[in-house]
Amino acid sequence: MKIIDALWFTNIDGCIGIIVIEEDVTGDRKAYIGSARGKDQKVDTEKILAWGNKFSIDTAERILLSLKKEVKKEEKHGITTTGRPQTTGKHSEH
């Protein structure tokens, strides 16, 4: 496995890391996300690769679409086009 990139988001409690890797055999790229202490990048990276959650392309695209999405008039008022109140999106529908 080869580490391609590491993205770090820090705050007072530590940090969140997203580690992008490339598999040696298949050449497939995967990403993992997890929390870390923020004291030692190598230790934090190893922890996230061992215990972190997979961070899928679908999740990344969903975030991008949410950031780029034009807000419809109904959505500004907390109502979707179906007439149901919007949720916070804490739980994935996948």
Which sequence spans correspond to the domains of the chain? Answer: 2-56
pLDDT of the residue at 86:
52
In the chain, the percentage of residues whose pLDDT exceeds 70 is: 72
The stretch 79-87 carries a mean pLDDT of 53
Q: Cβ atoms within 10 A of the Cβ of 20, count?
A: 15
Token duo for residue 9: 């988001």
DSSP string, the chain: -EEEEEEEEEETTEEEEEEEEE-TTT--EEEEEEEE-SS-HHHHHHHHHHHPEE--HHHHHHHHHHHHPPPPHHHHTTB-TTSPBPP---S---
Q: What confidence score (pLDDT) does residue 71 get?
A: 61
Could you give phi then psi for residue 70, rounded to 5 degrees? -75, 130
